Chain A
Amino acid sequence: MTLTAKNICTVYIDQDVQDLPNIQPILDYFQDVPREVVDGPTAVFRRVAEAADPISAAKEILYLTKNKGAFVRKCPGTKEYTCCGYQILHIGTFCTMDCSYCVLQAYFHPPALQFFVNHEDLFAELDQVLESRNPEIRRIGTGEFTDSMIWEPWSGLSHRLVERFGRQDHAVLELKSKTVNIQGLDKLSHNRKTIMAWSVNTPEIIATQERNTAPLHARLAAAAKCESWGYPLAFHFDPMVIYPGCEEEYKKVVNLIFDHVSPENVAWISLGTFRFMPDLKAIIESRFEKSKIVYGEFITGLDNKMRYFKPLRIKLFQVMAAALKKRAPQVTAYFCMEDDEVWRKSFNRTPDLPPLLDQSAQRVCGIKSGS
Chain B
Amino acid sequence: MHTPYETYWLALDSIDSQDLTFRISSAGDDESLKRSVESLGLINPPLVQESGGGMHRIISGFRRVDVCRTLDMHRIQVRVVDPAIPDQECAMLAVAENAGQRELDIMETSRALALLGPGLPWKERAGMIKDALFLSEPPNQRRMEQVESLCSMHGEILEGVAEDSIAFPIALKLHEMEEAEALAFARFFRSLALSLGKQREILTLAVEIAARDDLSCQEVLESEEVAAILNDADKDANQKAREARMHLKKARFPQITRAQETFEAEVQGLNLPKGVRLDPPANFEGQVYELRFYFKNINDLIKNHNVIIEIAEKPGLRKILDR
Interface residues of A (CB under 8 A from B): 80, 292, 294-295, 297, 299-302, 307, 309-312, 339-341
Contacts and interface: CB of A to CB of B under 8 A. Distances in A.
Given A295-B208, A295-B212, A311-B259, A302 B253 contact: no
Contact of B287 (A294, A295, A307, A341): A341
Given A300-B285, A309-B284, A310-B284, 17 more contacts: A292-B212, A295-B208, A295-B209, A297-B254, A297-B255, A297-B256, A299-B256, A299-B283, A299-B284, A299-B285, A301-B285, A309-B255, A309-B259, A309-B283, A311-B255, A339-B286, A339-B287
A294 B259 CA distance: 21
Contacts of A292: 211-212
A314 B283 CA distance: 15
B143 to A, nearest CB: 20
Interface in B104-155: none
Interface in B253-296: 253-256, 259, 282-287
A300 B211 contact: no
A341 B281 CA distance: 13
Contacts of A301: 283, 285
Question: Considering the complex of A and B, which 7 residue pairs feature the smallest CB-CB distances, nearest first?
Answer: A299-B283, A295-B212, A295-B208, A297-B253, A309-B256, A297-B255, A297-B256
A307 B255 CA distance: 14
Contacts of B211: 292, 295
9 contacts: A292-B212, A295-B209, A295-B211, A297-B253, A297-B254, A300-B285, A302-B285, A309-B253, A309-B259
A339 B287 CA distance: 9
Contacts of B255: 297, 309, 311-312
Interface of B is mostly: helix
A339 to B, nearest CB: 7
Interface string B205-222: 000110110000000000
Interface in B192-234: 208-209, 211-212
B285 A310 contact: yes
Contacts of A309: 253, 255-256, 259, 283-284
Q: Is the interface of A mostly helix, strand, loop or mixed?
A: mixed
B217 to A, nearest CB: 13
Interface size bracket, B side: 10 to 19
Contacts of A80: 286
Contacts, number: 40
Contacts of A295: 208-209, 211-212
A288 to B, nearest CB: 11
Contacts of A339: 286-287
Contacts of B208: 294-295
Nearest to A290: B211
Contacts of A312: 255
Interface string B232-255: 000000000000000000000111
Counting chain A CB atoms within 10 Å of each CB, which of B255, B283, B285, B286 scores highest? B285
A124 to B, nearest CB: 43
A223 B254 CA distance: 39
A310 B286 CA distance: 9
A310 B284 CA distance: 7
A341 B286 CA distance: 9
B212 A311 contact: no
Contacts of B259: 309, 311
A299 B255 CA distance: 11
B262 to A, nearest CB: 11
A300 B282 CA distance: 9
A310 B281 CA distance: 11
B205 to A, nearest CB: 10
Contacts of A300: 282-283, 285
Contacts of A299: 256, 283-285
A32 B256 CA distance: 55
Max chain A Cβ within 10 angstroms of own Cβ: one of B255, B259, B282: B255
A95 to B, nearest CB: 26
Contacts of B209: 295
Contacts of B283: 299-301, 309
Nearest to A295: B212
Interface string B69-101: 000000000000000000000000000000000
A310 B253 CA distance: 13
A299 B254 CA distance: 13
B63 to A, nearest CB: 44
A117 B84 CA distance: 68
Nearest to A341: B287
A339 B256 CA distance: 19
Contacts of B254: 297
Nearest to A289: B211
Contacts of B286: 80, 302, 339
Contacts of B285: 299-302, 307, 310
Contacts of A310: 284-285
Nearest to A296: B212
Nearest to A301: B285
A124 B256 CA distance: 51
Contacts of A297: 253-256
A250 B211 CA distance: 24
Contacts of B287: 339-341
Interface string B173-202: 000000000000000000000000000000
Nearest to A80: B286
B278 to A, nearest CB: 18
A80 B282 CA distance: 14
Interface in B279-318: 282-287
A193 to B, nearest CB: 38
A300 B212 CA distance: 20
Contacts of A307: 285
A248 B211 CA distance: 24
Given A292-B211, A295-B208, A295-B211, A311 B284 contact: yes
A340 B259 CA distance: 20
Contacts of B256: 297, 299, 309
